[in-house]
Structure 1
Amino acid sequence: MSITSADICNAADALLGFVGFNRKLGKYIVRFSEDAFGMDVPDDSITPASEFVWVARDDQVMTLSRECLQILRDQNVNDRLNLGETLQLYLRRTDLPEIQAQRRRL
């Protein structure tokens, strides 16, 4: 079975949970409810995981960031995040450039 860029983008858009930057720990953490973050996570840093992995390059083009996907992978909750084999393959294929796509933040 071949995996296309569209498959990878769809898998990224299907990510679950929320990501927030914990000031006390100095790292990003994942929760599965916006209300589950403590006071050490500012509200303006809480982002749906499906948006966290996309980095704006200009007004229309966004890049699917391997670095941001790796932050999610390091949380070791792949099943809950819906970080499946399609995105795992994208992380492993560092020989290919990151995917760039025209999209709007949700």
Structure 2
Amino acid sequence: MKSTWNNLREVVTNVFQNLGLAWWVEVVTQTPRCTYYFGPFLNSTEAQAAIKGYIEDLEQEGAQGLKINVKRCKPSVLTVAEDLGEWIDRKVKPVFSGQM
């Protein structure tokens, strides 16, 4: 039953993403100058709950000066490395994919 619920959530999240209604965590770092998008999420509460893990990961990688925003959007790329003038296209994968 749990996997059926996860599959349904993933489908609904994908529909929301396609419509631009999914929630994303946007993290802008000063060093390096990057913008990261994490998601998609079905609602802002789920996105808020995931922030701590993203912050920990970025800080372990040496990122500094983090500004976090939870918003509805449809990012075309998930990492923008402004210092390098690069857009890094991490493939969008539903947040529930592969979870038990």
TM-score band, normalised by the shorter chain?
A: under 0.3
Question: What is the TM-score normalised by the length of structure 1?
Answer: 0.27
Q: TM-score, normalised by structure 2?
A: 0.28
